[in-house]
Structure 1
């Protein structure tokens, strides 16, 4: 999964902040992520809205994280995503993925709106940024 990002790519999710191939690969190999896989899970992504300009693109869309709980599959979260991409000699790669759970936070909606316009999102003043706090505290992020 890390190979889909540029070497210094960022995954900025509400539950953590990951930078570079090493942190991305560590998240996928983490006990929590592997436990999700072992018990049954899936990410379902909606078709993305993509704006391409030369060797750069911005994609935006939603995802559902579905986890198996006993004998049923339940939606664990619905998330908004904003993906700046760059074309490399090896194909398109992710520069950054910013993801926020759709729980009423204004920033999650701004991610989608900016993506549809082909723009970078603007964080509202005073917005809750759990990912930035996690990074500032020096704690590795967890993402799903």
Structure 2
């Protein structure tokens, strides 16, 4: 391989890494607006479409959904419909993303604001660990673990996953 070919190969690899990083960040950023419009099971399927067919969304206290339909089912309840109806905002922090070939991990915070009596209040503050995979359809969530930042050992364990990040 000539020096020019080697340089071109390095540039192509760097460009792919940047494109993958952006794609993962964009996928995570889509969750909030889609969750904030998921007032029906059908809208919840749009959220679920962010996940792989066997992808898992694991929340504390035994709540979990698997696959697009399972994720939609997590949002298909009176509490979530009331959030959407009354006004809510799922706001993620910028994720720390590590891409390794066709797999990626990300760690970020998320806040859910709830509209109450003309003002927004913070309803939930959580930490998230995301595992994502490249599929034929693009990047998909393989697993999202979400824990409330309530001082629990479980929440600290999710926060500590940042230690494995590159």
Bin for the TM-score computed over the shorter chain: 0.7 to 0.9
Q: Which residue of 1 aligns with 2:51?
A: 5
Q: CA deviation at 1:30?
A: 2.6
**Bigger strand fraction:** 1
Measured on the aligned residues, the alpha-carbon RMSD in Å equals 1.5
The correspondence for 1:77, drawn from 109, 119, 124, is 124
Q: CA deviation at 1:43?
A: 0.7
**Bigger helix fraction:** 2
**1:50–1:115 Cα contact (<8 Å) kept:** no
Count of residue correspondences: 119
Normalising by structure 2, report the TM-score. 0.67
Higher relative contact order (CA 8 A, sep 6+): 1
Q: CA deviation at 1:70?
A: 1.2
The correspondence for 2:65, drawn from 12, 15, 18, is 18
Report the 3-state secondary structure (helix = DSSP H, G, I; strand = E; otherwise coil) of the residue aligned with 2:49.
helix
**1:57–1:85 Cα contact (<8 Å) kept:** yes
The correspondence for 2:145, drawn from 86, 90, 98, is 98
Q: Distance in 1 between matches of 2:88 and 2:163?
A: 28
Mapping of residues 1-144 of structure 1, within 5 Å:
1-15=47-61, 16-118=63-165
| Superposed structure 1 runs of 4+ greater than 3 Å apart | none
Q: Which runs of 5+ in 2 are unaligned?
A: 1-46
